[in-house]
């Protein structure tokens, strides 16, 4: 048996949770003997048997899983150009609303957050779908188990949103401090969105703490394996890239109520696809992921830019 060692550049990894998924895709391909994925470098190092599998097959396998390999194409640049235009337009619309952060509850702010959750839901399926299926597959009513699991996630998201919103109340002491916090948080949210987007690969090094989502300790898995609601509550507290952005956005509301409503809107956006996946074991094709995730990233970047600009304007 002859073996070859090669490296493949991987595009489409939006957080460190994607590393495990890419490695699984590769290792489950016949002919691949070993695979190691590096999130920060954006590449996979693998050892394979060329008599059993070709590089073209491996690349196709990754594309089917929602990831791209090789150099960027004209289509990628066109897609990024369209996303940039949409980001500029959405930022302008959000700024035109003349709403402060707490006032977002009156209008399109929560609709945008809900849409961000809706577009992010394929990533939720990819990262937590296996855990969700472990709850629904062994239940007499998969739909009910899926509903309970998602209810747990929504409750956890809402509760932690209230905590972040309440924490944001302490920034209202002076106008200059509020301006500084809004500006810095807006920058952080925008950078998180760009990292989700994949437009600037170098940003990956700025987010070393984005560990694999939905990875429960072995003891917790055994204890809560047949309790969808409790399992949903536990996994709802596990952070990932989109959640980081929403948590930071919740802080700017300056109240527990706004933070809770912000995370409630986001979590409800992730529910339809997760609910469908858990009850029917079906979901959107993986190849659509990059388009949906870029749409979610556009919303997150636009919200971050709005927060940043509002923070700067407070001192005007």
Q: Does residue 124 share a domain with residue 55? A: no
In this structure, the dihedral spanned by the alpha carbons of residues 29, 31, 36 and 38, taken in order and rounded to 10 degrees, is: -60
Q: Does residue 85 share a domain with residue 174? A: yes
- Bigger pLDDT: 7 or 235? 7
Q: How far apart are CA 78 and CA 76, in angstroms?
A: 5
Q: Any idea what the Cα angle at residue 180 is, between residues 171 and 311, rounded to 5°?
A: 100
Domain endpoint, select from 69, 89, 121? 69
Instruction: Give the Å distances, CA to CA, from 222 to 65, 146, 152.
Output: 29, 18, 18
Q: Does residue 81 share a domain with residue 225? A: yes
Q: Does residue 280 share a domain with residue 168? A: yes
Q: Any idea what the Cα angle at residue 293 is, between residues 288 and 298, rounded to 5°?
A: 135
- For 233-273, the pLDDT digits (tens) are 887 777 676 777 788 888 877 789 989 999 999 999 988 88
Please give the pLDDT value at position 102: 39
Number of domains in the chain: 2
Q: Does residue 78 share a domain with residue 64? A: no
Q: Does residue 49 share a domain with residue 101? A: no
pLDDT band of 211, cuts 50, 70, 90: very low
pLDDT band of 173, cuts 50, 70, 90: low
What is the span of the domain harbouring residue 244?
74-313
Instruction: State the DSSP H helix or E strand holding residue 132, giving kind and residue range, or none if neither.
Output: helix 108-136
Domain endpoint, select from 69, 89, 105? 69
Domain endpoint, select from 20, 35, 69? 69
């Amino acid at each position: 048996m002859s073996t070859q060692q090669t490296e493949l550049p991987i595009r489409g990894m939006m957080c460190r949770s994607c590393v495990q998924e890419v490695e699984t895709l590769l290792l489950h391909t016949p002919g691949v003997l070993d695979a190691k994925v590096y999130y920060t470098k954006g590449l996979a190092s693998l050892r394979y048997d060329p008599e059993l599998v070709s590089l073209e097959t491996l690349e196709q396998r990754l594309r089917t899983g929602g990831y791209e390999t090789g150099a960027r194409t004209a289509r990628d640049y066109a897609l990024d150009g369209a996303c940039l235009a949409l980001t500029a337009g959405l930022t302008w619309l959000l700024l035109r609303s003349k709403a402060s952060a707490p006032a977002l509850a009156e209008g399109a702010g929560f609709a945008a957050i809900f849409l961000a959750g809706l577009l992010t839901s394929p990533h939720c399926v990819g990262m937590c779908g296996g855990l969700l299926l472990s709850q629904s597959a062994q239940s007499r009513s998969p739909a009910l188990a899926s509903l309970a699991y998602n209810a747990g996630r929504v409750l956890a998201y809402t509760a932690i949103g209230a905590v972040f919103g309440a924490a944001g109340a302490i920034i209202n002491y002076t106008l200059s401090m509020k301006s500084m916090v809004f500006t810095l948080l807006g920058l952080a949210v925008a950078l998180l969105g760009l990292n989700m987007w994949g437009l600037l690969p170098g940003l990956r090094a700025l987010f070393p703490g984005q560990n694999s989502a939905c990875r429960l300790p072995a003891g917790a898995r055994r204890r809560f394996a047949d309790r969808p609601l409790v399992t949903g509550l536990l996994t709802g507290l596990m952070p990932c890239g989109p959640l980081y952005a929403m948590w930071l956005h919740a802080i700017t509301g300056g109240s527990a109520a706004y933070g809770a409503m912000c995370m409630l809107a986001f979590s409800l956006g992730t529910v339809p696809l997760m609910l469908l996946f858990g009850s029917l074991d079906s979901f959107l094709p993986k190849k659509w992921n990059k388009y949906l995730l870029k749409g979610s990233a556009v919303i997150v970047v636009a919200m971050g830019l709005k927060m940043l600009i509002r923070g700067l304007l407070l001192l005007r």
